[in-house]
Amino acid sequence: MPPLDLGVLISGRGSNLQAILDAIAAGRLDARVRLVLSNRPGVEGLARAERAGVPTCVLPHKDFPDRDGFDAAAVAALREAGVTWVVLAGFMRLLTTTFLDAFPHRVVNIHPSLLPSFPGVDAQQQALDHGVRITGCTVHLVDAGTDTGPILAQAAVPVLDGDDHDTLAARILVQEHALLVRALSWIAEGRLQVSPPAAPGGRARATIAGVDTALGLAQVRALEPAGEGA
């Protein structure tokens, strides 16, 4: 199969982008990042892309009258760059059907919780506020809901006594880097299958050939940092 042609959308520091770039450089992910697009100028993720020689595009969302206008401009930039798969790597905006219809079942997101628990913003603090003992991260395809799309893989992270937002977020982030690369590798290998909803109004379902459970990375030593067996 040809390499994945990725467009990565960011809004900040781009650490998950860096995990993708490192995996590609190390030969662990058969992909090419065709474009890094940010809705915020001057963020660290843009500098990461530039150091890797990856083209960048900045589309300040405040320059557009509505979400559809922004999404249409983003789709045009991604298509011009030859992107076929989109990765949301800390992209802090909801996408409209204008965007999702342009890349059906080809928009991947990483979220810092075990969905469907704690969707939306600040999932780490939601986990702490609820007093759960296990949280984690989820890679899923994006649909029109908020973190409701088909799940590709999950990795569990314990909530330790004394954890605060920053310590918990840092441990989850280690697993995000590994899980996102692993899920993208499965896609690059042609192992992703998306089944349509069983009934009108239902949800599509994603399966990964050769992986028995959505907790795919947990079966292969999920708690190792990226680059150490992930």
- Return the active site residues: 111
Nearest to 88 by CA among 204, 187, 7: 7
CB under 8 Å to 207, separation ≥6 — which residues?
192, 193, 195
Q: Residue 52 has what DSSP assignment?
A: T
What the block records as the tokens of 195 is 């089944």
165-188 helix and 15-25 helix, angle to the nearest 10 degrees: 40
Residue type, 52: A
- C-alpha distances out from residue 119 to 50, 105, 165, Å: 31, 19, 16
CA distances from 61 to 39, 65, 72, 95 (A): 6, 8, 12, 12
Q: Look up residue 108 and give its two tokens.
A: 């991947």
Q: Which DSSP symbol is given to 3?
A: P
* Omega within 30 of 0 (cis) for the link into 116: yes
Strand ranges, E, within 74-173: 85-88, 107-111, 134-141, 151-158
